């Protein structure tokens, strides 16, 4: 369906994961659903929560796979097969510990960077060529590779306001992607968050 886009936020279902850094993708699509007044429904055939909206002249499905992070591709693959959309029409939102908190990076394709959610999506789509928006969550110690505790931890008091600004800018970037395409969205929004960023066409 040419006019249909999927915005898939990756995360883990369940109250214990609700506000963790690893759920940055969930948090962004929840913010968009609230902004766009879109209601969530459980779509069991896709193993996903889905909220439907009309934005920028397009039909948009906001998606939260309920498979747990490492199996995210099962839900994404099922939805692509059902709706017959191309991978280029699917934007996947993930946390990224290699990006500092306060930065976002949209790309049209590429590797997983060791992110198990992206690995699963790549496996089920049989391609790396799908847009992904990485939301920086940083690291406590850049020298330490084992970061499970950090990733599955909740944002600290000093991180909440910067992260809220990140979500706001990432939401604007997704709007720009829908309206003007990925190159415009990348050039205008990638990098550190700029307070009160306004999208100009």
pLDDT digits (tens, 9 = 90+) for 44-60: 999 999 999 999 889 99
Per-residue pLDDT band for 116 (boundaries 50, 70, 90) equals: confident
Residue 140 has pLDDT above 80, yes or no: no
- Flag the least confident range among 23-32, 97-106, 156-165: 156-165
Per-residue pLDDT band for 197 (boundaries 50, 70, 90) equals: very low
Would you state the pLDDT for residue 114? 78
Residue 112 has pLDDT above 70, yes or no: yes
Q: Which residue has the higher pLDDT, 2 or 16?
A: 16
Would you state the pLDDT for residue 6? 97
Residue 41 has pLDDT above 70, yes or no: yes
Would you state the pLDDT for residue 119? 92
Residue 145 has pLDDT above 60, yes or no: no
| CATH architecture group of domain 4-192 | 3-Layer(aba) Sandwich (3.40)
Would you state the pLDDT for residue 98? 85
Residue 121 has pLDDT above 70, yes or no: yes
Would you state the pLDDT for residue 159? 81
Per-residue pLDDT band for 201 (boundaries 50, 70, 90) equals: very low
User: How far, in Å, CA of 95 to CA of 104, rounded?
Assistant: 9
Average pLDDT over residues 108-131: 90
Average pLDDT, rounded, for the chain? 88
Average pLDDT over residues 112-134: 91
What percent of the chain lies above the pLDDT cut of 70?
88
User: Annotated catalytic sites, by residue?
Assistant: 22
């Amino acid at each position: 369906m040419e006019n249909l886009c999927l915005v898939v936020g990756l995360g883990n279902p369940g109250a214990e994961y609700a506000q963790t850094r690893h759920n940055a993708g969930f948090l962004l699509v929840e913010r968009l659903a609230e902004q766009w007044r879109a209601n969530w429904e459980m779509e069991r055939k896709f193993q996903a929560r889905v909220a439907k909206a009309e934005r920028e002249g397009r039909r948009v499905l906001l998606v939260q796979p309920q498979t747990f992070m490492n199996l995210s591709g099962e839900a994404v693959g099922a939805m692509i097969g059902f709706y017959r959309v191309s991978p280029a029409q699917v934007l996947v939102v993930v946390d990224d510990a290699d990006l500092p908190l306060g930065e976002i990076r949209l790309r049209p394709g590429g590797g997983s960077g060791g992110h198990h959610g992206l690995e699963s999506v790549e496996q089920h789509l049989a391609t790396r060529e799908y847009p992904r928006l990485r939301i920086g969550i940083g690291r406590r110690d850049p020298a330490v590779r084992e970061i499970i505790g950090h990733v599955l931890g909740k944002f600290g008091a000093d991180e909440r306001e910067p992260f809220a600004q990140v979500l706001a800018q990432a939401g604007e970037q997704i709007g720009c992607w829908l309206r003007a395409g990925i190159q415009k969205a990348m050039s205008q929004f990638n990098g550190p968050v700029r307070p009160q960023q306004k999208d100009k066409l």
